[in-house]
Amino acid sequence: MITTTIHFRDKQLIPIWDKIQRGKRLSLEDGVTLFHSNDVISIGKMAHAVQQAKSGDAVYYVVNQKIEPTNICVLSCKFCDFAVKQHSPDAYEMTIEEILSKLNSDVHEVHITGGLHPDWPWEYYVRMVREIKKAFPQIDVKAFTAVEIDFFHKKFKMPIEEVLRQLYDAGLRTMPGGGAEVFSERVRKLLFNQKIGAKTWFEVHKTAHKLGIPSNSTLLYGHIETYEERVIHMLKLREAQDETGGFLSFIPLAFQPGDTGIKPKNEFTSAIEDLKTIAISRLMLDNFPHIKAYWVMLTEEVASVALNFGADDMDGTVGGEKIAHDAGAISPMALAKEKLIKIINDAGKIPVERDVYYNALNVHTTNVIGKIPYLNSVPFYTYFEQRQFKMLPIAPRRMGILSQKGQIDAGLFSLRDYLKQEDTLDMMDYCIASRDQVKSVILFSKEGWQGLNGKRIGIIDDTATSVYLLQVLLEKKYDIKAEFVRMHAGVNDYSQFNAVLLIGDEALKANKTGLNGFDLAYDLAKEWYEWQKMPFVFAVWAHKKSLPPDRKQELTLLIQQALERGEMELDTIGAVHGASIHLTAEETSDFLRGFNYRLGEREREAIQVFKKLIEEVEVSL
Ligand code: SF4
């Protein structure tokens, strides 16, 4: 629920803000109104409030390296200052050894895009991905735009799905968003008529999502496109995201005129235009988890302001970038990790190092409260007054990992992680415990329990406690064993598993609509209740033992106040969040009433029973 108060200078924005606060979607007309408005500060405040509700104080960055293996390209897009023809003196081609020499053990993401080479064989691309993964297993490969995938499909006469499948098998994990430019046939015909249009771009991305390859999306703005075309571009992406849920981020890219001849060299976009476009993206794309301020094109200064205009990702250190710089980008060629951290800290945010899936790897600040970003925790967080604390939305398992590194001061911890860290954490009197069923920890299965013996179960990466609950149920209640395979968060190809364990909002959504191919849905809290006749405690509030006494007291008070108010307004606080996962207000309210938020005797007893049981089983993932 968004409660920020904004004093609008442009009164036309008031109904738009009203819609946002009620969880209603913005229309094409709303988007165009926003672009025409001069009330930039109010637009920024709206976007910032929406971003805070989604990702709290977190701003992500990744230690990444760009590889552009060749600048030789069979196409000649008008706005491209990077590509050359094969016999140009500026042409270059990288060997796999040269590519590997640009990587090192600190890098977490390699971003590969380049020209469409006329002669390279298919095996070269597959080998490129495979060799990177072999030499640097910690690196996630984000590679090839939809334009390149379509080029491979046509040149090597393979279906798009097969191209992607072979790259996935070699180690490709996500795709960049480039090649979309702007989804307008008018602009395409004028500026890049040889390049793919929206239809093919979406076909490639939707196919990738189906195979469990999430992707990113971009908008190239500031050339000849209209405001209306920008908004239509966003709406098309929003619609596709409703369908697949596979987009990780949206990246507005400011056009760099360079020597393209499309605009005079110094007619680059203004900072106001950049900030407005980022903010409006955040407002229009309500189903996109992240909006990126790509500092390479924006400059560091504008990117840092954008962190208060709806952006929650700075991209990364970006070693090796050439495409934007060839077109005249004036930013430095790479930023040191320390510099990125400083920019984010200076903006009053939490610098969060991430991987390609946006899993938090490290947090570089203090006073961090971990926030489980699921509907069941809204009674704690809606009215939580942060004071000096910073809020980091984070999946349960990741919170446990960061807590072990000492990077989380307090939060709603997965029970399993709390039990693992009892030596360093103190449990508080608040929890998330089921009364009987929860509807948000579900095993979707093709078989009954006994049929799962010896079968493969996909386990969503986010879970820390539920996977132990599942193991306990399999071994102790049903006397069977199954093989667990960890799946990354987000889109996955579930068809390879006999059952999949989903938690949180993903499970709630799938429980409502059904999960294609899985006829059975087992609510694990209900399974536990029918077996043990006691509630199940999924998460408990805990803080570091080393937290100063006054801070502990303050935290207890803040939780208590937030929960009291949250419980009083239980019918309304979850409505917007519930609507975002297609639950009615009634369903949301019913769902929230299925939990106990205070640790009573029954809950404490249930924790001890579970603790004993998990000591007797082993989870191997
Ligand atoms: S934009 Fe891409 S496809 Fe077009 S010329 Fe440049 S490198 Fe080639």
Q: What is the pLDDT of residues 68-117, one digit of tens each?
A: 999 999 998 877 888 999 999 999 999 999 999 999 988 999 999 999 99
Domain 11-357 has CATH 3.40.50.720: no
pLDDT > 70? residue 323? no
Quote the pLDDT of residue 266.
80
pLDDT > 60? residue 235? yes
Quote the pLDDT of residue 581.
87
- For the Cβ of 73 lying below 6 angstroms from any atom of ligand 1, the answer is yes
Which of the four pLDDT bands, split at 50, 70 and 90, describes residue 337? confident
For 143, counting Cβ atoms within 10 Å of its Cβ (0-12 exposed, 13-18 middle, 19+ buried), the class is buried
Query: 401: how many CB neighbours lie within 10 A of its CB?
Result: 18
- For the Cβ of 546 lying below 6 angstroms from any atom of ligand 1, the answer is no
Ligand 1 centre distance from Cα of residue 569 (Å): 54
What's the mean per-residue pLDDT of the chain?
Answer: 93
| Residues forming a β-bridge with 292 | 313
DSSP line for 225-256: --HHHHHHHHHHHHHHHHHH--EEEEEEEE--
Share of the chain above pLDDT 90, in %: 82
CA end-to-end span of the chain, whole Å?
Answer: 36
- For the Cβ of 459 lying below 6 angstroms from any atom of ligand 1, the answer is no
pLDDT > 60? residue 441? yes
Quote the pLDDT of residue 326.
61
Question: Does ipTM top 0.90?
Answer: yes
Tell me the CA distances in angstroms from 522 to 255, 453, 514, 593, 607, one per residue in order.
50, 16, 12, 20, 21
Q: What token pair was written down for 554?
A: 């303050």
Residue-level length of the chain: 621
Name the residue ranges covered by the structural domains of the chain: 11-357
pLDDT > 60? residue 325? no
**Up-side HSE of residue 294: CA atoms within 13 Å toward CB?**
25
- For the Cβ of 116 lying below 6 angstroms from any atom of ligand 1, the answer is yes
Atom of ligand 1 nearest to the CA of 79: 1
To test ligand 1's pocket by mutation, which of 82, 154, 187, 259 has the most ligand atoms within 8 angstroms of CB?
Answer: 82
pLDDT > 60? residue 127? yes
Give tens-digit pLDDT for 466-496.
Answer: 999 999 999 999 999 999 999 988 888 999 9
pLDDT > 70? residue 265? yes
Q: What token pair was written down for 311?
A: 């952006």
- For the Cβ of 75 lying below 6 angstroms from any atom of ligand 1, the answer is yes
Quote the pLDDT of residue 332.
60
Which of the four pLDDT bands, split at 50, 70 and 90, describes residue 501? very high
Give tens-digit pLDDT for 196-223.
Answer: 999 999 999 999 999 999 999 999 999 9
